[in-house]
Structures are given as C-alpha cells and as structure tokens.
Chains A and B, each alone.
Chain A
Amino acid sequence: MFSKDSWDEIIEALSRNWFRTALTAFGVLWGIFILVILLAAGKGLENGVKKDFGNIATNSMFMWTQTISKPYKGLPKGRRFSYDLDDVAAIKQSMPELRFVSPRNQLGGFGGANNVVRGINTGAFNVYGDYPEYIEQQPMYITSGRFLNYGDIEARRKVAVIGEGVRNALYDKGEDFIGTYIKINGVNFMVVGTYAVVASNGDSEEEQKQIYVPFTAFSQAFNMGNDVGWMAITAKDGYSITQLKTKVFDIIKTRHSIHPEDDRAIGNFDLYEQYQKVDGLFIALKAVAYFVGILVLLSGIIGISNIMLIVVKERTKEIGIRRALGASPWSIRSQILTESVFLTLISGMAGISLGALVIYVLNKILDANGPVEMFSNPSVDLSTILIALFILISSGLLAGFIPAQNAIKVKPIDALRDE
C-alpha cells in the first residue's frame, strides 16, 4: 500500500491544487492546535494549583475540638473538651490503617504579641509542639542542623527547629545560630536546626516563620499537661482519610461521652477531600478541552471530506480511465482513503508541532519572568499526542470514506462517456 508508486500518486494528486490543499489542511491544523493548547493550558493550571499543595501528604486531615452541641448521658450541651495523649494512643492502637497520628500544640501566632526573644531581637511566631513524624506530613527542607527526634521527645529536651524566616528576624547575617538560645514565652530553647519550605504561592514566607519544639517539652514548659491542641492524621497508602475519619471521630466521641450524632463537636479539615475536589475540577476541565478541541477538529474533518468529494467529482473521468485500464474498485478506494488520511495526518502533525512550539515559547517566557501564581509548566504528554494521532488517522479514514464510496459508485462507462 505504501510503495513509492502510490506515494507518488498521492503527492501528485495533492500538489495539483496545492493552494486548495493547504486551505483544507488548515482546518484540521487549527482544530488539533486548539486541542493541544487547551489541554496544555489545563495542565498548566493543574500544575500551578497542585503545586500549592506542595509535597504535603494529601491523604491527611487536621482535627480539632469544638463546642459539644448535643446533651448525652446526662451531660449538658455547650460544654467544651480537649484531646489528650490517651486519645492519640487509643486511635493509634485501634486503627492500624493510619500512618501517622500526630498530636500538636500551638502557641502565639500571626498578628499576635511578640512571644520570642533573642537578645535585643523579638518577634511574633507560631510555636508548635510536635512529634518527629510531622516532617513527613508537612515536608520541609532542613537547611542546617536537624529536625526533632525521639530523643528530644523522651528527654523533653528544650530544643527548637526554626524557619529561615525566624532566623532572618532574630539573627544577623552570618551570625552563628545553631546551639544558641531563644526565649519562647520566657522559656529558653536551644536552636538545633533551620528549615525552609517550597511552595509556589506567597505563603511560603509565612510558613517559614514557625518554630517547632518537641511535643513533650512544649507541654512541660507551657503547662499543657496531657492536653493535645489538635491532631494531624495521615492514612496509609491505599486507604483514604476521607473514609477513615468517621471511625476516628467515633473513637473520640466514645472516649469523651459525646452523642454519636453530634457532628459539630469535632472540627476537621480534610486535605484529601479538598485535593479530590481540585482533581475533579481538572478532570472536568480536560473533558471540556477535548470537547471543544474535537468539535473544532470535526469541522476541519468535514472540510477535508468536502474537498475530497470535490476532488472525486473532478476526477470522475480520470477514475473511469483508470478502471478501464484495470484499476480494481479497491485500489481506487484505497487511493482516496490514503490521500485523505495523509492530508489529515500531515495537517494534524503541523498543528501538533505548532502547538508544541507555542507551549515551548510560553514556558520560556514563564521561566524568564519567574513563577506565576496558579500557572506552571503547561504541557502535553506523549499519551495525549498518541491519542491525537489516533484521532487523526481515524478522522482521515472517516473523512475519506464517503468520497471513496462515491468514487467507486460511478460506473466506468458513465465516467468515460464522451458527450
């Protein structure tokens, strides 16, 4: 089918009216170009938004306490409660599906009063009491020293890991800071490490203005007893925290004598659910891109089909001659189909190349101008290209089908009649 002869025939046929061929080709080129660009833009948006989630373990939730809203077992509504370390132990013990159950406590915060002092420098920072595994739930880069470890937890060492933002605020450039002391609410902690976080949005500065100290040391220093402010809970791979969380709530409700249907007593933020929502949005966006792209492509294909019909009409006589000389219907049909597929494929490839070029230039501009919020690295992957090629070949066949049928429907005698 792809001998040099049939190749010559195709080139000959298509180049005879090259301007018309080019115009026709443009329809498909445009369609596939739009498809590629839409898909790439969607991907760019997706990359941008997902980057905001950073490397956070997205299969996680945060859980805090709220006011109890239903009376239960003789206890009134409106009372408050707090988690304690026994809750953490109970959850860990009865739910092996969970990867991490990290109790957390917090002090101070954004906009609050200055709570950290070092020499003459002071600042208002979030101070967290945490367990070592927290770094796996909210990944950060240790830029010097180390993060918290279980030695710190067991010995209740008063050590602190501070953000690069905290270090900038409390220390001069080039000053030694590992091994020095900072005063948090009047209690001395020794700095053992610094961290940085990478996030695409502007919040990273804020996230680097936090201080992590061992949970046990925090409880002791600030008289928290066994209390736990809130928990960060991550499910193991293969489980979804969204499905597991009601079981966690049930354990808490039983332990704190909360009405089983009191949904307001426990507050939570489900990262996984949020992530899924965003993910769903992008699936929808992709569907829209395909829908629009394929519609445009379809109009291009109709254009090709139209032109092929005209070509067949123009070549009725020629087809008659060929058949008188011994061309089988199949050879005529395959010639028309190959022409159509070839034309579709060439123009489609041109569209893909043009799209890729535009994306390449766009990425260059994005790189040169620094990160843009919510948009990053727009791209199409190989599988999309393969899908596009498949669509092209089938549409070429589709476009050529009716013209090819027409071509063999004409009886040679009718095509050859002189009058």
Chain B
Amino acid sequence: MIAIKDLHKSYTMGSNSLHVLKGINFSVEEGELVSIMGSSGSGKSTLLNILGMLDEADSGTYTLDGTPIKNLNEKIAARYRNKFLGFIFQSFNLINYKSALDNVGMPLYYQGMKRAERTDKAMAYLEKVGLANWAHHMPNELSGGQKQRVAIARALASDPKVLLADEPTGALDTKTSYEVMELIQGINDEGKTILVVTHEDDIAHMTKRIVNLKDGLIIDDTKINQVRAASHV
C-alpha cells in the first residue's frame, strides 16, 4: 500500500540546515495498523506529513497504492489527499462553526457530492463512531473524545486507502485514549490501513507493528501482538 525508499528531508532556517529524515526505507501492506514511535523532535510528524502529501521530501521515492507520488502541484495534491487519505490530528482540527454532521461531510463536499447524499453518508459514519445523537451539535459542545470521534468519522467519510493519525490520543486522558484506540482497532479490523504516530508505549502496543525513529533513521521495526484496547476499558 505504501512504499518509501531513501527518503530525505531537511529544514533550513536562516543559515542553519536541520537534517530531519536521513534516508527512510519502509513499506506498509494493506490492512496493517502501524505505530511510528520516537522521542519528541525525532521527525515522526515530518514523515507522516510527507506520507500525507502535506509536505514534500527532498529526495527519495514514495508510492501510494501503486501511484508514484512526485512533482505534485497543489491541485493534484488536493485531489490525492481527498481520494487516498484520511487525517486525524492531535488537536482534532474540526471546523468550529460547523456541526458535527457538516464536519464529517466536508471531504464529500470537496468530492462534489450532492447535499442530500452527503448528509446520509456523513450520518452513517457518525453512527459508526457512536455519535448519531450528536450530529447537530457544534464542536464546542462536544468532549475531547467526542471531537476525536467526529474527526475519525470525517477521516473515514471519503473512504480513503490510508488513515494517518498524528498523536490522536495526545490531547486525551487515558480512558478516552483507550476508547479512541478501540475505535481505531475496530476500523482496522474491517481492513483499513492505518498509521498512528505516538510517543506513548501503551498506545503503540495497541497497534500490530511498531516502527521506531531516532535521529532521522528507523532503528527498529517489529511486528507485535496487538493489545486489544477493550481489555483496558
């Protein structure tokens, strides 16, 4: 599903250049649930943003579901993001003046789907994350866990190939974190490929494979026995 080879990325700030990714090689099969771990500043978000086409690598190749990702202009990147990817952020990033339902419908809006169809589909995904009764609430009327559920429903709405989650539980308490991980595990059980960036060990162990980043290189990449989040709740 995902294949990257010899990926380099550095940031220049003034005269200094910060080499963040120093040759990443890694691939993900369809249906995997992978966590990317590493200390703060190790380049986890940078890697995820490149995978999400929000940022571009300096060198290296990236293939997503057989499509080589290179020389993107913003128009094509926007289309690929809409078609291939679903994003889940630490700070949820809901649009705060739109209801939960409208937030979930956004990716469908940019696909050009008609309103009625969009609403039906968004409603179905809200039901899936257990928030059907909150459809018409505004984000500021929802708890952190609920917001993240709405964000997950939104990420799923366009039925993307891959879900990319950057510290999805970073802003949540432990109990809520496990609930969110339970949801993510459920989605993975249905076959969706998911990448989760985290620096929390317990969260990483709820995935099926842990990739460890240090100083811009992968120092460890092991498949593990998944801990079901449900057993903690």
Interface, chain A (partner B; CB < 8 A)? 4-5, 12, 16, 317-318, 320-331, 408, 411-413, 416, 418
Contacts and interface: CB of A to CB of B under 8 A. Distances in A.
Interface in B83-108: 83, 87, 89-91, 93-95, 97-98, 106-107
A318 B52 contact: no
Given A5-B115, A16-B97, A413-B54, A325 B107 contact: yes
B87 A324 contact: yes
B81 interface: yes
A336 to B, nearest CB: 15
A330 B110 CA distance: 12
A408 B79 CA distance: 15
B93 A328 contact: no
Interface in B110-158: 110-111, 115, 154, 158
A412 to B, nearest CB: 5
Nearest to A13: B97
A416 B22 CA distance: 24
Nearest to B81: A326
Given A5-B109, A326-B110, A418-B89, A321 B82 contact: no
B82 A325 contact: yes
- Chain B interface size range: 20 to 34
Contacts, number: 65
6 contacts: A321-B95, A322-B95, A322-B106, A323-B81, A413-B54, A418-B91
Interface in B156-173: 158
B140 to A, nearest CB: 14
B97 A325 contact: no
Contacts of B79: 326, 328
B232 interface: no
Given A5-B109, A329-B74, A324 B81 contact: yes
Nearest to A323: B78
B55 interface: yes
B60 to A, nearest CB: 18
Contacts of A325: 81-82, 87, 106-107, 110, 154, 158
A413 B87 CA distance: 12
Contacts of A12: 97-98
B74 A413 contact: no
Nearest to A4: B115
A230 to B, nearest CB: 80
Contact of B74 (A408, A416, A418): A408
B25 interface: no
A324 B54 contact: yes
Given A12-B97, A330-B75, A416 B89 contact: yes
A16 B158 CA distance: 28
B78 to A, nearest CB: 4
B63 interface: no
B78 A329 contact: yes
Residue among A5, A324, A408, A413 with max Cβ neighbours from chain B (10 Å) = A324
A329 B79 CA distance: 11
